[in-house]
Amino acid sequence: MFFVVDEGPGLSGSSFLAVAESLVQAGVPPSRIVLLPSSRPNFSSLLAPDAAARWSRFRTIPLSPTRRISAAAAEDIGWGNWRRVVFDSEQEWCGVWAWTERQKFLSADKGILFRFEGYGHYGNEVRDRSRTLAEGGWGPTVSNAGDGFSAYPWIAGVRPRDIDRGAVLRLASYCAFRQAHFRLRSASGEALEQMTEINLGRALGISVSVVLPIEWPVIADGRMMPHEWVLAAGGRLLKVDAASHGEDHFYPDIAGAIIEWKLDNGARDLLIDEYERISGDSIKRRLPAYLLAYCAFRLGFTLSAARSVSEAKEIGRFKREAESYRERLATLLSLVTAA
């Protein structure tokens, strides 16, 4: 028997179908192929050609969320419910594509956050990064809560609304810390370049050649939004959810910080100069292409999310975010063209 397991299906269903049909081409009878998605597919909405007919050749068993959760995990704040805890009002909520989120729970006293981070060595690698960040003064301590979950103390504090010189310097130090502690031996930018060009073509109808040079391969933090930071007691800016997003498509730290914090030219230059001073990594020439790529990927994500969620308010949030990235892309493209 061959089991095809994925968190989808997404908009198209193409990942499941590609793997299952490749197995058939390799000589496996369809009766021995089982698809295990995270939810029952709505065949009428899948965008892959003849998706319903192709999918019906295989047995499908939709999976349920795990029941192996710590007894101390009392309140489910997954599926975007964490926004009720983080934001003061619903008007401030960011868009959440619920089925792409990791499971999250709070303890009854709201003092411990339980987050699913992966079984075996996958979760261990995330916890190792969390410990490194905690030792560097960037985030909370972590412990293994079993069954793929980690436990973190909930950080009391407020989410920053504005950015000042101190916060910009803190962002630069954080990016430099990751550059020093989370390096990889090698990485290729070819697939990222191709996907950036595809996203720009699909979303904006333009053809632009993008080169993303890699000088220091690192596990980046793909979640640099202001609500991912906490201004804790004593005024120290701490990063939450910093260890598990290096495998996402949203990269890198510096580009994300500039875009998500909406830094003006002065703040952007301060961030770059401080990062370069600490890290010794000169990024000025590389940065414009990465800013373009970051916005292109976020635009692609928000447009896909807007088509995938069903709740009207959530669709509206993603459409507003998409328009923001689209406007930023227009500015960046004009600057790149001029350069």
Most confident of 43-47, 129-133, 234-238, 300-304: 129-133
Q: CA-to-CA distance for 285 and 274, rounded, in angstroms?
A: 16
Q: Contact 242/253 with Cβ under 8 angstroms? A: no
What pLDDT score does 308 carry?
86
Give the residue-averaged pLDDT of 163-189.
Answer: 92
Confidence of residue 272 (pLDDT cuts 50, 70, 90): very high
State how far Cα 197 lies from the chain centre.
20
Confidence of residue 189 (pLDDT cuts 50, 70, 90): confident
**Which position has the higher pLDDT, 233 or 167?**
167
- Smallest Cα–Cα separation from 296: which of 229, 208, 172, 225? 208
Q: CA-to-CA distance for 253 and 263, rounded, in angstroms?
A: 14
Q: CA-to-CA distance for 67 and 50, rounded, in angstroms?
A: 35
In the predicted model, what is the mean pLDDT of the chain?
Answer: 91
Q: What are the angstrom distances between the C-alpha of 208 and each of 198, 293, 315, 336? A: 9, 11, 29, 10
Check pLDDT > 60 for residue 56. yes
Looking up tokens 């983080």, which residue turns up? 86
Dig out the tokens for 223 from the structure. 């979640």
Range 54-58, long-range pairs (CB < 8 A, 24+ positions): 54/17, 54/21, 55/13, 55/16, 55/17, 57/20, 57/24, 57/30, 58/20, 58/30, 58/33, 58/34
Check pLDDT > 80 for residue 252. no
Check pLDDT > 80 for residue 339. no
What pLDDT score does 337 carry?
66
Q: CA-to-CA distance for 303 and 294, rounded, in angstroms?
A: 14
What pLDDT score does 250 carry?
55
Q: What's the predicted TM-score (pTM) here?
A: 0.87
Give the residue-averaged pLDDT of 164-173.
Answer: 95
Check pLDDT > 90 for residue 23. yes
Looking up tokens 């009002």, which residue turns up? 89
Peptide bond into 252 cis (omega under 30): yes
**What kind of fold does domain 158-338 have according to CATH?**
Aminoglycoside 3'-phosphotransferase; Chain: A, domain 2 (3.90.1200)
Half-sphere exposure of 49 (CA within 13 A, CB side): 0
In the chain, where are the structural domains located?
A: 2-60, 73-154, 158-338
Half-sphere exposure of 210 (CA within 13 A, CB side): 31
What pLDDT score does 338 carry?
60
Check pLDDT > 60 for residue 99. yes
Residue count of the chain: 339
Check pLDDT > 90 for residue 260. yes
Q: Contact 220/184 with Cβ under 8 angstroms? A: no
